[in-house]
Amino acid sequence: TGSSKLHGFVADLSLMSSVRQLAEDVSNKFPVIHGLLNNAGTFDGDYTGKRVVTAEGNEYSLAVNVMAPFLLTALLLDNVRASSEGRVLITSSMSAGYRKGLNDLQLERGYSSHNAYSLSKLCDAMMAVELDRRYGKPPRLCFHTLDPD
């Protein structure tokens, strides 16, 4: 667009090594972050309906939808804290709720695309609540979860 206000970064959110590089690149470019929106979401990693495991050994939906936003937030938390009104938003979904999967986060038993997505979005909502409980200091630092619909 030619705008100096837009900046793009590329990362494979299924690989935590790539998320670490993304965090380093973003941190170097933006020492102060006023808002971080974690909106990653995949429903069926390779569109076959079969469980996909990443090169790092994680179930694909868990890696992209939960682990990547958690790691990125953790690695950029100091940058968000540097803002006088930092906000972290983590997208969940009305589909959140596959509680059985909390005992099997990698869904090695009972995998379905819907279960993987539902579990990941439940974890995202739980993550936002826990991050706010541990680190939230309104109005200086707040964590929120939302359903984009």
Cis ω before 148 (30° cut-off from 0): no
Between the alpha carbon of residue 53 and those of residues 58, 63, 78, the distances in Å are: 5, 9, 31
State the pairing for strand pair 86-91/35-38: parallel
Is 66:19 a contact under the CB 8 Å cutoff? Answer: no
What would the 3-class secondary structure string for 73-100 be?
A: HHHHHHHHHCCCCEEEEEECCCCCCCHH
- Of 60, 98, 111, 117, which one is the catalytic site residue? 117
98 catalytically annotated = no
Cα–Cα distance measured from residue 98 to residue 96, given in angstroms and rounded to the nearest whole number:
7
- Amino acid at the residue 120: S
> Could you give the residue numbers annotated as active site?
117
